[in-house]
Amino acid sequence: MPSQPPDSIAQATAGGVALPVVKTVAVAASGPKPLDFSALLLLTLLTSFTAIAVQYAVRSFPPILGGMLRFGLAGLVIFVFLLWKKDLRPIARQDYKFLALLGLFCVPINQIAFFQGVAWANASHAAMMYANTPVIVTIMACLRRIERWSAAVIAGAVLATVGVLTILIQSGLHLSGTYFRGDLMLLLATLTWSGYLVYSRPFNQRYGSLNCQLWVFVFGTLMSIPIAIPDALTLRWHAIYPSAWAGLLYISIGIAVIGFFLFNWSMTRQPPSRVATFSNAAYPLTLIWEAILTHSLPTVWFLLGSALLLTGMIFTLYRPHHVLDIPEESTPVGDPADL
């Protein structure tokens, strides 16, 4: 279906269910509200441990099996929580195919690429690739008319990415053999993650972040089961390291449940480029945790990269954005499948 004009409000019903309105407004240049800012800070802190946790998980779990277990467990936790809160919401029939497509990209494709990329390369390479997320998200959001092209938005995303890359390059990144294949897989993981952030936004607005997560995880897990069965049958479950279980639990509950919720919830209230750029601070934090463990001091390049990152975050946090508004309750919308 053709895209709606940026300033339009679609009105209809989906399966007889009243869904929220989505419209375009200008977000003021005063930056995020205290609650939104706190959510971004917590999100950044949680995701700063992701690559470290995955390094422990891949010691025992093959990529597709690890991804299936991760999102299967996360989906179960979300389902029980929504059941307890009595907040399970009906999904319009025409949305199932798009949620299934998001599940395909978010779970089997992204997780195979991410787990295998970390196994072939390392956490620093994963951070380098994911540092491109703000630029990719900004371009996708502008192409989708979720945001409007703006020198400030683009400059902020680019500055933040250059800052993180400066930090990572000085850490001795190199391209050779297995590392190169790992970087290609991590690039694929970054592209699918960026696409998920942008294309899941209307569904998060219409059904709520947790309900959207639940269906994406369910579809993604179901698609992963046939591919994961051989690994599950041959894996020596009794020999799995406790640290691998701990890493899997962290990326399942801490990231796939809490982290994804904070991502999705923030994306419905703030511009996608702002959320993606701010979360980029997780990568230098990851290196800080490593520096603490190895008793090493920050370098001049680390301080320079951090300064660039901070400048980019300020650009995206305190510049006006034109984005889709958060939903208004009890007002029906048009076809949610209009992606």
Domain boundaries, given as residue ranges, for the chain: 24-324
pLDDT tens digit sequence for 169-219: 765 655 556 777 787 888 899 889 889 888 888 898 899 889 999 999 999
Q: Rounded to 5, what percent of the chain is helix, strand, coil?
A: 70, 5, 25
Cα–Cα distance for residue pair 40/141, rounded to 1 Å: 19
Q: Please provide the size of the chain in residues.
A: 339
Helix (H, G, I), strand (E, B) or coil at 21: strand
Start-end of H helices in 105-150:
110-120, 123-130, 133-143
Query: pLDDT value at position 235?
Result: 94
Give the H or E element holding residue 322.
strand 321-324
Phi, psi of 179 (to 5 degrees): -60, -40
Query: pLDDT value at position 54?
Result: 86
Which parts of the chain have pLDDT scores under 70? 1-32, 124, 128, 167-168, 170-177, 290, 293-294, 296-298, 316-339
Maximum separation of any 2 CA atoms in the chain, in Å: 60
Cα–Cα distance for residue pair 85/79, rounded to 1 Å: 10
Share of the chain above pLDDT 90, in %: 29
Q: How does the average pLDDT of the chain come out, rounded?
A: 78
Say which residues have a Cβ less than 8 Å from residue 8's Cβ, sequence separation at least 6.
23, 24
Query: pLDDT value at position 317?
Result: 61
Give the H or E element holding residue 247.
helix 242-249
Cα–Cα distance for residue pair 255/248, rounded to 1 Å: 10
DSSP per-residue string spanning 181-233: HHHHHHHHHHHHHHHHHHHTHHHHHHH-HHHHHHHHHHHHHHHHHHHHHHHHH
Instruction: Give the chain's count of helices (H) and strands (E).
Output: 16, 2
Query: pLDDT value at position 171?
Result: 59
Query: pLDDT value at position 55?
Result: 83
Query: pLDDT value at position 253?
Result: 94
Query: pLDDT value at position 1?
Result: 43
Query: pLDDT value at position 298?
Result: 65
